[in-house]
Structure 1
């Protein structure tokens, strides 16, 4: 039965969900969570001041990651095909890979920690590779 599904896209979906849960955890942890996960100084200060925008932005990212997970599951044929499946999976893969490979050059001097830049870039590259491998494997079967 597992042969029917694409393992790489299932892994990609799980990784996206884990990233979404991590983002929600940062919100729950508050300023310490933002600091621990290497958010920019502006976000940390805003969270310390009780401002809502760090939580709104972080929650928005979590929601997008969950949507991406559903698309990966759809591409893996675990759930029914979602609209624009192939172009969305291409976009998700490209975004993860660009964030992972090119992102560090844009994140330098933004107030984010070097640890955040290195770890998040490696993570995004891995996520992009999982999605890319699955996308290539499923290309002919995607609508």
Structure 2
């Protein structure tokens, strides 16, 4: 954690943290949030029925996003250096970017969501991926050095 923290990666970490909060909101507020965030009617109905799947699936996603947020903050230089930082940040950036451009193939794999959901969520993921990429490019050499 030497030098000035990277603001772009701080923003990347904050964006992932915001996504965590939105996912947790689905668990707390139930079906209306699942619907509003485009999880599909099946998830909304399962939530209403008290089925375990929406909560568990959403917690898994929120957990992954939490780890991604922590790694972005670590790469930014505001948290201690986490293991495999450069590799994990490369993979997180790649996943966000791929998710951002893969709307059409994903529509067939995950049916039941609207075209609007796929366009919005893909655009958001692409935007977050671009923020990660810009930040990662700014700190790439620093992340390659041993602490």
TM-score when normalising by structure 1: 0.93
1:32 aligns to 2:32 (yes or no):
yes
Specify the alignment match of 1:115 in structure 2. Answer: 116
Segments ≥4 residues shifted beyond 2 Å: none
| Unpaired runs of at least 5, structure 2 | none
What is the CA–CA distance in structure 1 between the aligned matches of 2:104 and 2:14, rounded to whole Å? Answer: 24
Aligned pairs (5 A) from 1:40-119? 40-108=40-108, 110-119=111-120
| Contact 1:89/1:135 (8 A) holds in 2 | yes
- For the 8 Å contact 1:104–1:118, the answer to whether it is kept is no
- What RMSD in Å do the two structures reach over aligned CA positions? 1.4
Question: Which blocks of at least 5 consecutive residues in structure 1 are unaligned?
Answer: none
Distance 1:80 1:107 in 2: 38
Deviation at 1:104, TM superposition (A): 3.7
Deviations 1:39-93 (A, max 9, x none): 1232122112210110111111111111111100111111111000001000100
Distance between the aligned counterparts of 1:37 and 1:115, measured in 2? 11
The Cα of 1:35 is off from its aligned counterpart by 1.0
